[in-house]
Amino acid sequence: MRTDYNNLPEQIDYLISEIKEVKEILSQRIGKPEEIPKFLSVEQLKHYLYQKGVLISKSKLYKMTSKDEIPCYKTGNRVYFSPEEIDNWLSAYLNQKSKTNSDFSGQDTIKDIMESALFKKQKK
C-alpha cells in the first residue's frame, strides 16, 4: 500500500499495532533474567564464562583450580566459584593479557620468530 496524505493516519495506526506486536514477542522471549547463584559449580562456571564470551573446558577449569590460577573454594572433592571473584579475576586476567600483547611491537615479534627459527637450525 502506498502512503499518501489521505491514508497517513491509517498507516500510522498500522505501524503502531505492528510495533506493539513486536514488543510483545520480544518481552515473551526475553522473560526474566536468570538470577546468578552465590556460588557456582564447575559446570555452572563453564556456562557463566561462555555467556561472557570465554570458551573454556571443564578439564581446563579443573587444571586451573589445582594450580591455584583461578579463585575457588574447595570442600572435599568439590570446587565452588564466586561469580564476583570470577569477574574480578577475569578482568585482571584480560588486562594482563592485553598489556603483555601491547608490550610487543610487530618488529619484536618477527625478530623473535626469526631468532627462534635460526636457533632450531643451529640445533640440527
pTM above 0.75, yes or no: no
For the segment 82-109, the average pLDDT, to the nearest whole number, is 75
- The CA distance from 123 to 107, in Å, is 24
CA distances (Å), origin 25, targets 22, 34, 99: 5, 19, 43
| Res. 124: pLDDT tops 70 | no
Helix (H) or strand (E) segment spanning residue 58: helix 58-66
Angle at 32 between CA 84 and CA 51, to 5 degrees: 45
Residue that wins the pLDDT comparison between 122 and 3: 3
Which positions ≥6 away from 90 have C-beta within 8 Å? Answer: 49, 52, 54
pLDDT digit string, tens, across residues 107-123 = 556 666 666 666 665 65
* Cα 5 → chain centroid: 49
Per-residue pLDDT tens over the stretch 33-59: 667 789 999 999 999 999 888 899 999
Instruction: Give the span between the Cα atoms of 28 and 31, in whole angstroms.
Output: 5
